[in-house]
Amino acid sequence: MSETLHSAPSASAEEAPRRYHHGDLSRALVAAGRQILERDGPDALSLRAVAREAGVSPAAPYHHFKDKAELLEAVAHEGWEELGGAIKEARGRVDAPGAAPGEIGVAYVTFARKNPALYRIMYRMACDREAMPEGAKSEDSGWDQVRAAIIEAGVDPHDERAMMLTQIAAWCTAHGVAEMAGFKEFDSLKAALGGEEAFIREVFRHVGVMSGRRSPS
């Protein structure tokens, strides 16, 4: 539920000690929100809690966010941008066109596993929107990077419907792996394969079996 603003606290309280660079309060509040999110969970996140975490007065956040929902949107936006950066970096590490989607999948799952609370907020804030968040579809976003990698792998970019379905399938695959990668049941398999990243890579190598292709040897 949103922490709706009825009347902002008095601005006279803004003499409290500050732990942020002058003029960069908005970013400091988002950073504080992320710290609370990962440490205590979304229920602990509020404008008052963020102000306390950032070392500013209770009034300060209201100059940037009207309520908790706006703060969460800002936190989620930063998450989408970071995910996009991780995907772009992963795509840039490979030369063989067919290898990029798998490397992107590993980067996606790794991001989700390192930022579990942020990852869930990103999707919570996006699921009821009529369009993907700007951070998810901006230039060089993860979504566009996936599209480019799919085209490089041989999908016809002129068949827009097939293109979109392939993007969705790729994204859903990574999302599903991210959801299941933390299952305790797979701990012994991870150990046998050499760790979590090796496990994730092997899962993506075997995804082809879902479309009728033979499993890798």
- Can you give the residue ranges of every domain in the chain? 11-66, 72-211
Report the amino acid identity of residue 42: P
The pLDDT of residue 86 is 95
The pLDDT of residue 155 is 86
The pLDDT of residue 42 is 86
The listed range with the strongest mean pLDDT (12-16, 127-131, 167-171, 193-197) is 193-197
Report the amino acid identity of residue 179: E
The pLDDT of residue 98 is 76
Q: Is 146 exposed, middle or buried (0-12, 13-18, 19+ CB in 10 A)?
A: buried
The pLDDT of residue 9 is 41
Per residue in 120-163, pLDDT (tens digit) is 999 888 877 666 655 555 667 888 899 988 888 888 889 999 99
The pLDDT of residue 185 is 96
The pLDDT of residue 104 is 93
Per residue in 26-65, pLDDT (tens digit) is 899 999 999 999 899 888 989 999 999 999 989 988 888 9
Q: Which two tokens stand for residue 76?
A: 């989620």
Per residue in 4-35, pLDDT (tens digit) is 333 344 433 333 344 544 458 889 999 999 99
Cα–Cα distance, 83 to 108 (Å, whole number): 7
Question: Does 173 have pLDDT greater than 50?
Answer: yes
The pLDDT of residue 136 is 56
Q: Which two tokens stand for residue 3?
A: 């922490």
- Tell me what the mean pLDDT of segment 108-127 comes to: 92
CA triple 101-132-35, angle to 5 deg: 85
* CATH number for region 72-211: 1.10.357.10
* CATH number for region 11-66: 1.10.10.60
